[in-house]
């Protein structure tokens, strides 16, 4: 079913136009002009169905005045599968965050209960062979949770496509604000001030009570200290960029460097190199490599 004719989903707190569609008012992301992406040969010689969505965002100064425009050109999934790709990426992200360490003791693992509590007969009570029975307080648990791996496998290209599709759709949504701001580090050079950051949000036309996600490549210390006490503000960097925070925010604010990074990493001209891995994968690899080095050193000590 095409995205434009799908009814509203139960995930109403997501602000992306992928989750706020109506058969009478299709989102602006579906009406804006698309620049077709160069087809690439896939399995059997078929071209990969990936399109490029161009969004023009206004550039605002720290005082709230419009000083220019910036283009956000990201890859997007086709209309027929965009909702499914984003949903799969969101479920995968939330599933992989589950630790799965909950564990209960069965009747065979509870201490005690080796002796029969009382004789089988002539007591007038129900027969009982152990105090570890689940029917007694302190006994074992029936069908309780055990350590489990909840992780779900998702291809890297599909995961990146889900993220870029969500950003492109949210940036072009009519019911949300998306714009670019100039570097505002100088506004907080005197020191961190939460009140000044709230006033800056109002100058940019944002409601401090609505969730907003700031996408920045580098976060100055005074800016981070000024907004960390605001519960509706989320600061995302290339290392912490994730699908849930993008969909959960009603408004998106980019810096110029963040737009350049997104266009280069998730844009139409981004290279699909199998050797390119995400920051998280690099962290896991180096952590594993460090453990191997420590184990190897310990053998010779």
Residue 222 has pLDDT above 60, yes or no: yes
Average pLDDT for 227-245? 94
Which residue, chain included where needed, has tokens 């509203």?
A: 8
Residue 42 has pLDDT above 70, yes or no: no
| Cβ contact 205:86 at 8 Å | no
pLDDT, residue 44, reads 40
Average pLDDT for 134-161? 93
pLDDT, residue 244, reads 95
Structure pTM?
Answer: 0.69
pLDDT, residue 183, reads 87
Residue 288 has pLDDT above 80, yes or no: no
The 10s digit of each residue's pLDDT in 89-144 is 999 999 999 999 999 999 999 998 888 999 999 999 999 899 999 998 989 999 99
pLDDT, residue 272, reads 56
pLDDT, residue 51, reads 75
| Cβ contact 208:201 at 8 Å | yes
Average pLDDT, the chain: 79
Lowest mean pLDDT among 49-58, 213-222, 269-278: 269-278
pLDDT, residue 26, reads 39
Which long-range CB contacts under 8 A does 112-118 form with residues at least 24 apart? 113/139
pLDDT, residue 6, reads 44
Residue 296 has pLDDT above 60, yes or no: no
More confident position, 23 or 52: 52
Average pLDDT for 213-235? 94
pLDDT, residue 186, reads 86
pLDDT, residue 153, reads 93
| Cβ contact 243:89 at 8 Å | yes
pLDDT, residue 7, reads 43
**How far lies 93's CA from each of 1, 53, 156, 213, 270, in Å?**
25, 24, 12, 18, 23
The 10s digit of each residue's pLDDT in 264-284 is 999 877 765 444 444 445 444
pLDDT, residue 54, reads 82
More confident position, 129 or 21: 129
**233 sits in which H/E element:** strand 233-236
Closest Cα partner for 93 from 267, 266, 247, 285?
Answer: 247
Q: What pLDDT band is residue 74 in, cutting at 50, 70 and 90? A: very high
pLDDT, residue 271, reads 66
Q: How far apart are CA 207 and CA 220, in angstroms?
A: 23
- The total of other beta-carbon atoms located within 10 Å of residue 212's CB is 23
Average pLDDT for 167-187? 89
Residue 171 has pLDDT above 70, yes or no: yes
| Cβ contact 279:159 at 8 Å | no
Q: How far apart are CA 197 and CA 236, in angstroms?
A: 16
Q: What pLDDT band is residue 10 in, cutting at 50, 70 and 90? A: very low
Domains defined for the chain, CATH in brackets: 51-98+152-269 (3.40.1370.10), 100-149 (no CATH)
Residue 263 has pLDDT above 50, yes or no: yes
Indicate the DSSP class of residue 36.
P
pLDDT, residue 2, reads 44
Q: Give the chain's end-to-end CA distance (angstroms, integer).
A: 64
Residue 206 has pLDDT above 70, yes or no: yes
């Amino acid at each position: 079913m095409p995205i434009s004719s799908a009814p509203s989903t139960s995930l109403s707190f997501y602000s992306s136009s992928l989750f706020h569609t109506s058969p009478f008012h299709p989102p602006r992301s579906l009406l804006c002009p698309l620049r077709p992406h160069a087809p690439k040969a896939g399995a059997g010689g078929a071209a990969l169905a990936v399109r490029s969505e161009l969004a023009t965002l206004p550039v605002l100064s720290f005082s709230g005045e419009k000083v220019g425009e910036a283009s956000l050109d990201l890859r997007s999934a086709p209309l027929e599968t965009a909702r499914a790709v984003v949903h799969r990426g969101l479920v995968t992200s939330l599933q992989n965050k589950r630790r799965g360490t909950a564990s209960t003791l069965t009747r065979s693992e509870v201490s005690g209960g080796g002796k029969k509590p009382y004789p089988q007969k002539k007591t007038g009570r129900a027969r009982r062979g152990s105090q570890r029975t689940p029917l007694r307080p302190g006994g074992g648990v029936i069908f309780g949770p055990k350590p489990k791996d909840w992780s779900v496998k998702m291809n890297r290209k599909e995961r990146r496509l889900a993220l870029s599709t969500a950003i492109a759709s949210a940036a072009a949504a009519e019911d949300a604000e998306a714009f670019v701001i100039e570097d505002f580090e100088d506004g907080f050079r005197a020191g961190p001030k939460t009140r000044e950051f709230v006033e800056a949000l109002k100058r940019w036309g944002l409601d401090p009570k609505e969730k907003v996600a700031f996408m920045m490549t580098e976060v100055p210390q005074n800016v981070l200290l000024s907004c960390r006490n605001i519960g509706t503000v989320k600061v995302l960097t290339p290392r912490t960029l994730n699908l849930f925070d993008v969909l959960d925010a009603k408004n998106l604010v980019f810096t110029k460097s963040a737009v350049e990074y997104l266009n280069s990493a998730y844009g139409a001209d981004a290279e699909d190199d199998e050797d390119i891995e995400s920051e998280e994968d690099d962290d896991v690899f180096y952590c594993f490599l460090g453990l191997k080095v420590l184990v190897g050193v310990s053998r010779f000590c």
